Amino acid sequence: MPNLHNYLIAAALGASIFTAPALLAAEKARFGYGSPATAEQIAGWDIDVRPDGQGLPPGEGSVEDGEELYEEKCALCHGSFGESVGGYPALAGGDGSLTDPRPKKTVGSYWRYTSTLWDYIHRAMPFTQPESLSDDEVYAITAYVLHLNDIVDYDFVLTRDNLTDVHLPNEDNFIPDQRPDTRNKRCMKRCKDPATVEVASEAAAYVPEGGPDALYSEGEAQDDGIVSTVTGGGVYERHCALCHAGGIGGAPMLGDTGTWSARIEQGMDVLYRHAIEGYSGEDGIMPPKGGFVNLPDSEVILAVDYIVEQSQ
């Protein structure tokens, strides 16, 4: 938006050198330059497509047409089957991998809404020529990417009217983030005054109301695979890094040998016990198992070993 940007800079500079009465006068005159955006200009920016289909233009495209277009315009980076070439993102595959330690996040495995796929391709692809595709081409290529993910058959034709009927496999698995520092419920309308929202950033606040068990509901800890990681590094990344990577709440940072040497001198048994049972020290509070009470002791021990290995 070069024009608006320049306008804002000019306005800011202008404001800073005006005397107060001059500023008031200028404000009254609305600075005397710039012009209202035309409907056409606004339409150029207003291209977002929402999950309920709002914003979709009329049009349609078949998987078959999409195949040809995709091969010509997309395959060189994303691969003929969406498998990815040369490090560009894969668009297909990864079914059921989201609970693995290294999930493969693709349109089929991870994305929530078909509308996002349409919007993304329309807005941003091909990478070197964004917004160069016609609406029908976007429908066709979207249909083909859905087909690559086994979501629609080869004879499918995607249209404005049926796009919201196409559901992606992961749609229902987006849930409010249950980590304790993001405990506030999501809100879409008539929301709380932001000034009254509590940001719980003290280490003590990582232990949720109702005790650490409240972190997990309905046996999710077992079902969602969060605890399936078995390497010390993996456990650390998931359960310890949120404090120990950045020194949050006084947590000694990974790799900070100066801070860790005295702690390591206490012996591994003390470190294991402090990590498993939790403790309150001079620098802050180490919650039992970092607050993830469903973590098996053996995994906490692996993580401590990893931390010590990286910090001596």
User: E strands, the chain, where?
Assistant: 60-62, 157-159, 279-280, 285-286
| 164-183 binders of ligand HEC (CB under 6 A) | none
Q: Is the peptide bond before 194 cis (omega within 30 degrees of 0)?
A: no
Contact 141, 74 (CB under 8 A): yes
For β-strands 279-280 and 60-62, DSSP reports them as: unpaired
Q: Closer to ligand HEC at the Cβ: 147 or 289?
A: 289
DSSP string, 226-240: GGG--SHHHHIIIII
Q: Which of 34, 57, 120, 294 binds ligand HEC (CB under 6 A)?
A: 120
| 56-95 binders of ligand HEC (CB under 6 A) | 73-74, 76-78, 88-89, 91
CA distance 107 to 81: 13
CB of 58 to ligand HEC, least distance (A): 20
Q: Which of 63, 140, 148, 285 binds ligand HEC (CB under 6 A)?
A: 285
Q: Which of 118, 139, 156, 206 binds ligand HEC (CB under 6 A)?
A: 206
CB of 13 to ligand HEC, least distance (A): 33
CB of 179 to ligand HEC, least distance (A): 10
Does residue 49 interact with ligand HEC by CB under 6 A? no
Does residue 126 interact with ligand HEC by CB under 6 A? yes
| Strand partners of residue 62 | 157
Q: Closer to ligand HEC at the Cβ: 134 or 222?
A: 134
Q: Three-state DSSP class for 60?
A: strand
- CB-CB neighbours of 241 under 10 Å: 18
Give one word for 228, left, alpha or beta, with left for phi > 0 and alpha for psi -120 to 50. alpha
CB of 217 to ligand HEC, least distance (A): 19
Q: Which of 146, 152, 289, 293 binds ligand HEC (CB under 6 A)?
A: 289
CB of 280 to ligand HEC, least distance (A): 7
Q: Which of 33, 81, 127, 154 binds ligand HEC (CB under 6 A)?
A: 127
Contact 141, 73 (CB under 8 A): yes
Q: Please enumerate in sequence order all residues whose Cβ is within 8 A of that of 250, keeping only pairs 6 or more positions apart, or say none.
A: 203, 283, 284, 285
CB of 261 to ligand HEC, least distance (A): 11
Distances (CA, A) of 149 to 53, 108, 111, 116, 143: 21, 5, 11, 15, 10
Does residue 300 interact with ligand HEC by CB under 6 A? yes
Closest residue (Cβ) to ligand HEC?
A: 281
Count of residues of this chain found to bind ligand HEC when the rule CB under 6 A is applied: 50
Does residue 98 interact with ligand HEC by CB under 6 A? no
Contact 59, 160 (CB under 8 A): yes
Does residue 148 interact with ligand HEC by CB under 6 A? no
Q: Three-state DSSP class for 62?
A: strand
| 252-271 binders of ligand HEC (CB under 6 A) | 252, 263, 266, 270-271
| Positions that interact with ligand HEC (CB under 6 A) | 73-74, 76-78, 88-89, 91, 107, 117, 120-121, 125-128, 141, 145, 203, 206, 239-240, 242-244, 248-252, 263, 266, 270-271, 274-275, 281-287, 289-291, 300, 303-304, 307
